[in-house]
Structure 1
Amino acid sequence: MTDWYKIYSADCALPPGSDLDELTAELAECLRDPDPEVRDSYPYGVLRTWIERDFIDGDRRIRLGNEMAARFADAQIQARTFAPLVLAMIVNRGDFCREWMNAFVRWYPAESDLRGHDARLGWLHAVAHGADLLGAFGCHRDVEPVEMLDIATARLVAPTDYLYAEREDDRLARAIALTLTNPKLTADQSVAWLDGIGADLRAVARGTTPTYVSNALRTLRMLYILADLGVSPQPGQPSRQLPHRDLVKRRIVEVLANDAKSIG
């Protein structure tokens, strides 16, 4: 097996005489490994850097993206949940295939294993990793951003007993906020997706709060903050403002206020 620590420590330089196709295939396998030390350490950092530096170029990125999209149907949870991280790297470089988005749309709202961290498998983070890809798609020129807002809604109202415990609400809110910076969205489209969440919350019977409702409310609260302050696409980059910032904030407040009436 390749010594990925050695490559990472050498500023991710390509080893002399190496076969990049073989190394890319090995990296792809590392990012489905059940051992978190293999999956989520140096191979991840090397892959991200090689994509950013265009070592893994256009054709290789497309092939890698196809492989990651196929993993959304994989039987192993860590394979499914690390696929969107890799795809987000690729989409953020500007690449896009409709098949990738279709596979993501089928997977993200339907994934039932939402554990953030597992003692044996390490980080899984389906909601957070999927949110990173949702935000990448939501900002891409070839995607209608309203599609990603609808998928975010579907994820938020999907019943689950998993309470977001590893900042999944922050990551999903950030992805939604990034999508809402897309200038293709009209004012109506920027808030219409909240109608479905509001209707779902109003339909919840009085009493104890379902777990998914808590998740949705926490996500909306963080979204309000990001709508107010702006959201940065990447660490260190300037924040983007939502074109329909005030309208989005007002609609979030209305949804949260209607939910508050059911408390008691």
Structure 2
Amino acid sequence: MELKLRLKELQEKELSCLSNRELEELIENMLENIGAIDPELRDHLIYPTFIRFIDEGMLSEDNRLYLFNTCLDDHHLFYKIGEINTDSVFTRSFSSLVLTGLLSYDRQVGQFSKDYIDLSFKKAIDYLSLELDTRGYVEEKGWAHSIAHGADLLVSIVKHPLFNKGQFHEVLEVLENCLFKDATYIDDEDERLIFVLEALHETNIDEKMLEDWIIQIFNGLESIYENEGFSNNYFRKKFNITNFLKTLYFRIGFKRVQEMIKESLNTLHQKVYS
């Protein structure tokens, strides 16, 4: 039976109707098509079905570990990493979303060891660093949203009780990397990246660390100006950074950080428009 039809039928049924063999065969078929360019199949059938399997406890420990390891591998999260404007981004991006679901569920059940959480963190950092296809919505093919989905994955790791709080610097570094990618974020990527900072805030990140990081971001933007002047590249990076920091201003309750953002954005405005 065609996968799309099978998944549509399953939407109207209890998952308990599946035998173990049927479940495992369906998981394999869904993994093979996780990056399908048909947005209905990918966004509205495969991904939600994976989340149903996870959240409704349909997956055994072995199933969850298999799905975790498969989605992290070079054929999924890192499938053809480095390509730009090709369909491979859908496989990478939606693998990260399934991993997000698995890690969020594991916060409740506690199956994954610290080694697994450390591995997922390393892979998430590598993925967000290496991903070059930063498209949000792709006409006729739906959401790619690689940076947003990668940020969701990072949030699920930072919120996990086994996350190593000594890795705050690495999280901030990869967020900065995302802001300085060759991209213009217009599909709420800034909101999704802010979720990572909110997770760090909940995990008691030091306010001074956040202040130093914001200064570093502005210094990076200034470095582009010194090398290129008011280039297209400068204005694209400025667009990403200012949108991100405006959102951060209203979402993080550190008063000194808010004041720093306000002053820095005002200085930037005077520099560009005075």
TM-score, scaled to structure 1:
0.83
**2:260 is matched with which residue: 251, 260, 264?**
251
| Partner in structure 1 of residue 78 of structure 2 | 73
Ranges in structure 1 where 5+ consecutive residues have no aligned partner = 229-244
Displacement of 1:4 in angstroms is 0.6
| Partner in structure 1 of residue 172 of structure 2 | 149
| Partner in structure 2 of residue 215 of structure 1 | 240
| Alpha carbons of structure 1 residues 60 and 195: separation in structure 2 relative to 1, 3 Å | farther
Q: Distance in 2 between matches of 1:224 and 1:59?
A: 43
Tell me, yes or no, if structure 1 residue 39 matches structure 2 residue 39.
no
Displacement of 1:132 in angstroms is 0.8
Q: Distance in 2 between matches of 1:150 and 1:215?
A: 16
* Bigger-Rg structure (1/2): 2
Displacement of 1:86 in angstroms is 0.9
Tell me, yes or no, if structure 1 residue 181 matches structure 2 residue 190.
no
Amino acid at match of 2:136: G
Q: Distance in 2 between matches of 1:262 and 1:9?
A: 58
Q: Distance in 1 between matches of 2:40 and 2:93?
A: 16
| Partner in structure 2 of residue 14 of structure 1 | 16
Q: Deviations over 1:146-179 (max 9, x none)?
A: 1322211121123x1x321211122212232222
2:93–2:144: 8 Å Cα contact kept in structure 1? yes
Amino acid at match of 1:43: I
Tell me, yes or no, if structure 1 residue 194 matches structure 2 residue 214.
yes
Give 3-state SS (helix, strand or coil) of 1:63's partner. helix
Amino acid at match of 1:212: K
Displacement of 1:18 in angstroms is 4.7
Amino acid at match of 2:257: V
Alignment of 1:227-242 (within 5 A): 227-228=252-253
| Partner in structure 1 of residue 154 of structure 2 | 134
| Alpha carbons of structure 1 residues 83 and 192: separation in structure 2 relative to 1, 3 Å | farther
| Partner in structure 2 of residue 110 of structure 1 | 130
Tell me, yes or no, if structure 1 residue 86 matches structure 2 residue 111.
no
Let me know the Cα RMSD of the aligned residues: 2.2
Give 3-state SS (helix, strand or coil) of 2:130's partner. coil
Runs (4 or more) in structure 1 with deviation over 4 Å come to: none
Tell me, yes or no, if structure 1 residue 172 matches structure 2 residue 193.
yes
Q: Distance in 1 between matches of 2:270 and 2:224?
A: 12
| Alpha carbons of structure 1 residues 197 and 43: separation in structure 2 relative to 1, 3 Å | same
| Partner in structure 2 of residue 235 of structure 1 | none
Amino acid at match of 1:72: L
| Aligned sequence identity (%) | 22
Ranges in structure 2 where 5+ consecutive residues have no aligned partner = 81-87
Q: Distance in 1 between matches of 2:60 and 2:271?
A: 53
Q: Deviations over 1:73-98 (max 9, x none)?
A: 21211111112111111111234432
Q: Distance in 1 between matches of 2:252 and 2:207?
A: 14
1:31–1:43: 8 Å Cα contact kept in structure 2? yes
Q: Distance in 1 between matches of 2:257 and 2:57?
A: 37
| Alpha carbons of structure 1 residues 16 and 51: separation in structure 2 relative to 1, 3 Å | closer
| Alpha carbons of structure 1 residues 125 and 17: separation in structure 2 relative to 1, 3 Å | same
1:8–1:45: 8 Å Cα contact kept in structure 2? no
Amino acid at match of 1:189: M
Amino acid at match of 1:38: L
| Partner in structure 2 of residue 163 of structure 1 | 184
2:121–2:154: 8 Å Cα contact kept in structure 1? no
TM-score, scaled to structure 2:
0.80
Bigger fraction of residues in helix: 2
Q: Distance in 2 between matches of 1:41 and 1:15?
A: 21
Q: Distance in 2 between matches of 1:92 and 1:179?
A: 16
| Partner in structure 2 of residue 61 of structure 1 | 64
Q: Distance in 2 between matches of 1:150 and 1:118?
A: 28
1:149–1:179: 8 Å Cα contact kept in structure 2? no
Q: Distance in 1 between matches of 2:152 and 2:65?
A: 18
**Which deviates more, 202-211 or 19-28?**
202-211
Q: Distance in 1 between matches of 2:238 and 2:68?
A: 33
